Amino acid sequence: MLAQWQAPAVLVLIGLLSVPRPGCAEEKTFSLTAENRRVDIGSGMTYDAMTYDGTVPGPVLRVRQGDDVTIELTNQTTDAHGINVYAAQIDPKLFGETSTKKTRYQFRADVPGVFDYHCSAFPVLDHVAGGMYGMMIVEPKDGWPNGDAQEVTLVQNEFYGLADPYGLIRPDHSQMVAADANFLGFNGGVARYDLHNPIPIKVGKLVRVFFVNAGPSLASTFAVNGAIFSTVYRGGNPQDVMHNIKTLEVGPGNGAVFEFKVNDPGDYQFADGSLSHSYKGARGIFRATR
């Protein structure tokens, strides 16, 4: 049984992520730093991670459809790093794959959705498994069809390797290649949002989950026990919509937006529907109150 631990709640109410105004295209610049950092992943374990801005996952990057986006990456490590933002439709060589200390490129966010971003430097598998990933949200130019909601951002990820006697996980490349993950989690933690640290939601109010499966290798079937998703946008794109479904498989590197309401107070477990994945840490709790 995994030990319980506490971490900051991930709930983000409308406005706290600087949501762009509908119909107003802007210029957005994101300056990130590649740095090595030992991070706490819960259950008494730590990990020597490769990071963007010292956190796993990296910061949520949020823009609106039509915005002109600039990505700047400063590399403070001795390893090669880059940043591949999946929302960008440009020459991949611009993402950076060398030991160059500066990477900078621009693109227009033409397609709405929720997108993965991760390191583009070789070996990509090890760098993503090591913590270099995050989420970009491209808001639809006219806003989300169902209006305001309680918003939650969840990035699912995998950990490869076992902890030493001091709780430090040593990365295992052979297990990465075999896609044999030892632990999984949300927002860089194993069983992070447990009974002692649930994500608060309100009964009867729409909840909108921005979900990215950072992988690097395993699919996720995201579900909330006791709820059915009233709306799901595959890839986070409102043009690719489904209604009244229980779960959706999200492949590694892909994303989705899930919307639901709960009718009663209580604890609603969310998890990867693969029971082995949830057993290894890909689970959490929404706590609903009136």
**What is the DSSP secondary-structure string of 40-106?**
EEETTEEEEEEEETTBSS-PPEEEETT-EEEEEEEE-SSS----EETT--S-GGGG--SS-SEEEEE
pLDDT value for 18: 46
Q: What is the pTM of this model?
A: 0.92
What's the token pair of residue 247? 């779960």
270 close to 224: Cβ distance less than 8 angstroms: yes
68-75/102-108 β-pairing: antiparallel
Chain length of the chain: 290
What's the token pair of residue 278? 């949830």
Say whether pLDDT at 14 is over 50. Answer: no
What's the token pair of residue 67? 């915005």
Break the chain into its structural domains and give their ranges.
18-139, 150-289
pLDDT digits 0-9 by tens, 29-65: 999 999 999 999 999 999 999 999 999 999 999 999 9
pLDDT value for 19: 52
Same fold, 18-139 and 150-289: yes
Compute the mean pLDDT over every residue in the chain, rounded to the nearest whole number: 92
CA pair distance 272, 282, nearest whole angstrom:
6
pLDDT digits 0-9 by tens, 187-215: 999 999 999 999 999 999 999 999 999 99
Task: Tell which wins on pLDDT, 91 or 3.
Answer: 91
Say whether pLDDT at 107 is over 80. Answer: yes
DSSP state of 261: -
Q: What is the CATH number of domain 150-289?
A: 2.60.40.420
pLDDT value for 6: 36
Q: What is the CATH number of domain 18-139?
A: 2.60.40.420
